[in-house]
A = this chain, B = another copy of it.
Amino acid sequence: MNPLAERIAEAITPANAARPTRLTRARRTALLKALADPRRFELLEKIAKANCPLGCAQARAALPISAATLSHHIKELQTAGLIEVRREGKFHFLSLRPGVLQSLAAGLAALEQPSCA
């Protein structure tokens, strides 16, 4: 497996949500990979659209996958730095990390430049 702690550390460092931070190549690739799986994206959508942190049970009910697979996807999203997992007793609650999607979106949009006439 990957150097998990390293990736988490890198993911967690920029906590400023005001302005989109510039992403490294590695981080950008990690984000894109995390988003490129349809079910994982759907899970992220559910988390984003819930106005409060989402419980795993709700996530599980919304997606046709096993608990093991859900756990796997949660870890991927967390490792990529897209979500935060808050633990409360037996339960885990998932919420979007602010600013990350903004940074990625900004980076992608910035690729388009004035074209050659």
Contact = CB atoms under 8 A, between A and B. Distances in A.
A58 interface: no
A12 to B, nearest CB: 13
A53 B102 CA distance: 29
Interface in A69-108: 95-96, 98-99, 101-102, 104-106, 108
Interface string A17-60: 00000000100110011011110010011001101110000000
Given A101-B108, A105-B106, 17 more contacts: A25-B38, A25-B41, A28-B41, A29-B36, A29-B38, A29-B41, A32-B41, A33-B36, A35-B108, A45-B111, A51-B116, A53-B116, A95-B115, A98-B112, A99-B112, A102-B109, A105-B108
